[in-house]
Amino acid sequence: MTWNPSNLKLLYTEEEIERTIDRLAVQLNLDLHGEDPVFVCILKGALPLTWDLMRRMNFDVSLSYVRVRRFMGTTGGTPQLYGFEPTEFENKVVVLVDTVLDEGDTMNLLLKTIEPIAKKLLTVVLVQKQTQYQGSADYVGFQAPDRFLCGRGMDFDGKYRGLPAIYMLEE
């Protein structure tokens, strides 16, 4: 895919992203060796990252998902969970996979819901924004400015998820 909307500025290239996912996969392979993890894809944005990580694992990984809706345009709201049954994670090693961590609302809701019942809970994000949020994911690919991002699974009103690189919306 070669198109790039004119109001987007390149932040991370496809090559940089692939190398970073390789690094995350190596760390996960080492840390999850001997476990039987379930990767929980936070839909829709984390589909590309989840797939990229799963195919780099040196062991079988179970897959689940949760659909979360939080943004309308560039405005965030209260996260809403869809198609989610937390009891499937009882006594399991759970790896939450998301594309971006910014204000932490979605991640905190999922942590609060799954952590009490999971054997172990880990979090992976491709990008963590430099925001007021005090937490961090266990595995972080990139640090990014607190700007609206799209590409590599992240969208702007449902568009641009398929861009192979990550862009930020110009102010």
* 63 CB neighbour count, 10 Å cutoff: 13
- Cβ-in-10-Å burial (0-12, 13-18, 19+) of 74 comes to exposed
Query: Residue 102 catalytic?
Result: yes
Of residues 22, 31, 52, 102, which has the active-site annotation? 102
Alpha-carbon distance 72 to 70, whole Å?
7
Amino acid identity, position 32: L
Q: Which residue has the tokens 């499937």?
A: 88
Catalytic site residues? 102
